[in-house]
Amino acid sequence: MRHVGGVYSIPSVPTIARLGPYRFFFFSGDRGEPRHVHVERDDMLAKFWLAGPSLAESRGFPAHELGIIARLVTKHRDKFAEAWDERFGS
């Protein structure tokens, strides 16, 4: 684990997209949960379920920024789901 821009980054955690200031990724241990994506910026972290999509949890993001991220997740949901299936199976 290394500290990058206020966030602890784990090199083995696959980044699936970088959109603007946001990094979208999965954790290896996510396999047993429904499809979702994590997003980080600086020291903030959120998790969005791809069904919907809907916010699962957030740490540090203000509400207006969660709205921006939700729109990005909606726009890229199919690609995120495809990346999920490649990583964990459908």
The pLDDT assigned to 12 comes to 63
pLDDT at 29: 84
Q: CA distances (Å), 74 to each of 15, 28, 51, 52, 61, in order?
A: 18, 23, 9, 8, 18
Question: Using alpha carbons only, what angle is made at residue 45 by residues 83 and 34, rounded to the nearest 5 degrees?
Answer: 40
CA distance 19 to 39: 10
- Domain range holding 84? 2-88
Number of H helices, E strands in the chain: 1, 7
pLDDT for res 6: 45
pLDDT of residue 11: 52
Task: Report the number of distinct structural domains present in the chain.
Answer: 1
Tens of pLDDT, residue by residue over 23-44, are 999 988 888 899 999 999 999 9
SS3 content of the chain, % helix, strand, coil (to 5): 35, 35, 30
Collect the ranges in the chain with pLDDT lower than 70: 1-12, 90
